[in-house]
């Protein structure tokens, strides 16, 4: 594993690449943003997933089954290059299979190691859509 350090533009690009993959419902591209032993916490719902290829994979597969469409946008990022961390505030629009639009305002805190997400902490409004 490299000791790759990303600059501010690269950190933002990785986060937005990640969300674009989630929005395309492409689990492989989504997981490619994570380290193998990554941890993903939905902090305000008391949920923790560990392991890119096991628990995180299952979480994204369930998300894709649960909604007909997902969208993340209107990003506002705060970056700490030295610590390899980025906080992202954004809007989420999930469309159910019945056509209902569910809107959330979320904030994610990303920690990176070697250019990949090693830990993600999610704070979401409303129900846990990643459960």
Q: Please report whether residue 3 resides in a domain.
A: no
End-to-end CA distance of the chain: 31
Report the distance separating Cα 37 and Cα 95, nearest Å.
31
Give the range of the structural domain holding residue 39, as residue numbers without chain letter. Answer: 8-124
For each successive 10 residues of the chain (131 residues), what is the average pLDDT? Answer: 81 98 98 98 94 97 96 98 98 97 96 97 90 72
For the chain, how many structural domains are there in total? 1
Q: What is the DSSP letter of 125?
A: S
Those residues whose C-beta lies under 8 Å from the C-beta of residue 121, and which sit 6 or more positions away, are 41, 43, 108, 109
Q: Please report whether residue 1 resides in a domain.
A: no
Q: Please report whether residue 2 resides in a domain.
A: no
Laid out side by side, the sheet with 116-124 consists of 47-50, 34-42, 116-124, 101-113, 85-95, 69-80
For residue 99, give the CATH number of its domain. Answer: 3.10.450.50
pTM of the entire predicted model: 0.94
Q: Please report whether residue 60 resides in a domain.
A: yes
Q: Please report whether residue 83 resides in a domain.
A: yes
């Amino acid at each position: 594993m490299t000791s790759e350090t990303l600059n501010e533009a690269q950190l933002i690009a990785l986060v937005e690449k990640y969300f674009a993959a989630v929005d395309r419902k492409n689990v492989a591209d989504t997981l490619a943003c994570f380290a193998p032993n990554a941890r993903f916490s939905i902090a305000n719902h008391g949920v923790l997933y560990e392991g890119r290829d096991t628990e995180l994979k299952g979480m994204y597969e369930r998300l894709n089954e649960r909604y007909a469409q997902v969208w993340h946008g209107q990003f506002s990022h705060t970056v700490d290059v030295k610590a390899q961390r980025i906080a992202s505030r954004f809007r989420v629009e999930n469309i159910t299979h019945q056509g209902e639009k569910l809107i959330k305002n979320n904030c994610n805190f990303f920690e990176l190691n070697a250019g990949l997400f090693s830990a993600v902490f999610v704070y979401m409004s409303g129900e846990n859509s990643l459960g």
